[in-house]
Amino acid sequence: MYKDVLRSIEGIGLYPIISLVIFMLFFTTVFLWMFRIRKEHADHMSALPLEDGSLSSPESGETYHG
């Protein structure tokens, strides 16, 4: 029902087309850029949760509990 209401608005198709185009462009760009990531950087970023700078032993990369 809302479809008929929406279709009756002149030029309404423009908005979802804008969004679809932005959507596809942005996403394709991110996808391509992803291949340009250097391995050292990816490794550094992946390791961040494991090195939280804390000085007490249970937190600094220690094995899981529970």
Partner 1 sequence: MSQVETFRYDNRIVRDFAFASVIWGIVGMLVGVLIALQLVMPALNLGPFLSFGRLRPLHTNAVIFAFVGNAIFMGVYHSTQRLCKARMFNDLLSKIHFWGWQLIILLAAVSLPAGKTTSKEYAELEWPIDILITLIWVVFAVNFFGTLWRRRERHMYVALWFYIATIITVAVLHIFNSLEAPVTLMKSYSVYAGVQDALVQWWYGHNAVAFFLTTPYLGLMYYYLPKAANRPIFSYRLSIIHFWALIFIYIWAGPHHLLFTALPDWAQSLGMVFSLMLIAPSWGGMLNGLLTLRGAWDKVREEPVLKFLVIGLTAYGMATLEGPMLSIKSVNALSHYTDWTIAHVHVGALGWNGFMTFGILYWLIPVLYRTELYNKKWANLHFWIGLTGILIYVVPLYWAGVTQSLMWKQFTVEGVLEYPNFLDTVTNLIPFYAMRAIGGTIYLASTVLMAVNLWKTVQQGDFEAETEASAPALRDQPMPSADYEAHAYRHRKLERLPLLFTVLTAVAILIGGIVELVPLYLIKSNVPSLASVTPYSPLELEGRDIYIREGCVQCHSQMVRPFRSETARYGDYSKAGEFVFDHPFLWGSKRTGPDLAREGVIGRSHVWHYMHMANPRSTSPGSIMPDYPWLHSNKLRTNNTAKKISVMRKLGVPYPMYFEEIAVLRLNEQAEEIASELRQQLPESADQIEADREIIALIAYLQRLGVDATKEVPYEEEL
Q: Which residues bind partner 1 (CB under 8 A)?
A: 1-9, 12-13, 15-20, 22-24, 26-27, 30-31, 33-38, 41-50, 52-56, 58-59, 61-66
> Helix (H, G, I), strand (E, B), or coil: what is residue 41?
helix
For tokens 């996808």, the residue is 31
Q: Residue 1 has which token pair? A: 């029902």
The minimum distance between CB 26 and partner 1, in angstroms, equals 7
The minimum distance between CB 19 and partner 1, in angstroms, equals 4
The minimum distance between CB 58 and partner 1, in angstroms, equals 5
